Amino acid sequence: MIPKVMVILGSGSDIEIAKKTTNMLEKLEIPYSLKIASAHRTYDLVRELVQKGTNEGIKVFIGIAGLAAHLPGVIAAYTSKPVIGVPVSVNLDGLDSLYSEVQMPYPYPIATVGVNRGENAAILTGQIIALNDSKVAENIFKLREEYEKKVIESNEKIIQKIENKYINNDFLRVKNLKIENEPVKEYPEFNYDNKVSIIASNYMDLVVAKKTAVVLDRLQINHDLQIICPIRQPKKFRNYVLGMKNTEIFIGISSKSAVVTGVLTSLTSKPVIGVPCKDEFGYDSLLSMVNMPPGFPVGTLGINNGRNAGILAGQMLSNDDSKVQNNLEKIRNKKINI
């Protein structure tokens, strides 16, 4: 079995978080290799593993580290494959490692998942691999059904057992609830053929979203850019996402509460990339974007770093597209300037 994924831990002390990743990769039936190497303590070992891994066909790298978590950044320096970062909580509730991983400069994105969310790194990896692997796509689909079933069952196992005086849980009882699947409405202004869909949740975020679009353009990837707010226009948002059947990657761009990426993950099993934007603070959208519950990852990038979203989408698609791969190399070598 040739590994498709390389998981690197900064230290043996990260093993409990790494087990969440490896257990999920096992479940999704994705072959992987697991190494311990530190960018601080064994820089050349990281370089060697990443360069050789890339040459031997690794499609996704996962870096797991706590404290000043520079490991995923050094991985990104030596490969143009997608790099996923898992911040580990050692001190400061993991915020130190989260910021170290997420705030990468252009054009070196780290798709960062929530603190200690090893399983989400594996699921995001699965979603990337699934773009060219129908068996993994099927396993992702089954996994999402499991998470859904768990919610429905909780109503029976937990909520139904509460015997308060004023509660009436037989009202719209969830056990046999048939979810009505509203048909998807088509809108004439949407182009349904694009590979990447960028959704900004309001006009303020458009400056950042346009940077993503420029990078995708230079990478020669067909894309679509819409401003749709999942709170103010929930029906349009749902129709858009469900209608985009040919879209391989969704990019959500948002300030304040990152409802846009949260709802995206529930409507699609394709990879979701998030760019938090700063209007007042920036930390609010970053934390609300990255800290997704198990099962529903958002590969989060640095605040206002729209260009890195274009690069990351290109990296995810490049496993199957040599033209995009060449354009990515040109950007890294500054033969294309954006």
Residues that bind ligand C2R (CB under 6 A): 10-11, 13-14, 38-41, 65-71, 88, 90
Residue among 108 and 240 whose Cβ is closer to ligand C2R: 108
* CA distances, 279 to each of 99, 109, 288 (Å): 18, 22, 14
Task: Provide, rounded to whole angstroms, the least separation between the CB of residue 319 and ligand C2R.
Answer: 26
| Distance, CA of 220 to CA of 218 (rounded, Å) | 5
Residue among 39 and 76 whose Cβ is closer to ligand C2R: 39
Task: Provide, rounded to whole angstroms, the least separation between the CB of residue 63 and ligand C2R.
Answer: 8
Task: Provide, rounded to whole angstroms, the least separation between the CB of residue 119 and ligand C2R.
Answer: 18
β-strands 83-88, 111-112 pairing:
parallel
Residue among 4 and 70 whose Cβ is closer to ligand C2R: 70
With the CA atoms of 261, 263, 266 and 271 taken in that order, what torsion angle do they form, in degrees rounded to the nearest 10?
-20
| Distance, CA of 198 to CA of 161 (rounded, Å) | 43
Task: Provide, rounded to whole angstroms, the least separation between the CB of residue 237 and ligand C2R.
Answer: 38
Residue among 68 and 184 whose Cβ is closer to ligand C2R: 68
What letter would DSSP give residue 64? E
| Distance, CA of 1 to CA of 29 (rounded, Å) | 11
Residue among 70 and 81 whose Cβ is closer to ligand C2R: 70
> Which residues in 233-296 belong to E strands, given as ranges?
249-254, 272-276
Q: Would you call 253 helix, strand, or coil by DSSP?
A: strand
Task: Provide, rounded to whole angstroms, the least separation between the CB of residue 103 and ligand C2R.
Answer: 14
Instruction: Work out the angle between the directed axes of helices 206-218 and 306-318 (0-180°, nearest 10).
Output: 40
Task: Provide, rounded to whole angstroms, the least separation between the CB of residue 52 and ligand C2R.
Answer: 18
Q: Which amino acid belongs to residue 202?
A: N
| In contact, 262 and 276? CB cutoff 8 Å | no
Task: Provide, rounded to whole angstroms, the least separation between the CB of residue 74 and ligand C2R.
Answer: 7
| Distance, CA of 184 to CA of 243 (rounded, Å) | 6
| In contact, 201 and 254? CB cutoff 8 Å | yes
Residue among 117 and 256 whose Cβ is closer to ligand C2R: 117
| Distance, CA of 79 to CA of 154 (rounded, Å) | 43
Distance between start and end Cα atoms, the chain:
39
| In contact, 59 and 4? CB cutoff 8 Å | yes
Task: Provide, rounded to whole angstroms, the least separation between the CB of residue 32 and ligand C2R.
Answer: 18
Residue among 66 and 314 whose Cβ is closer to ligand C2R: 66
Q: Would you call 86 helix, strand, or coil by DSSP?
A: strand
Residue among 121 and 263 whose Cβ is closer to ligand C2R: 121
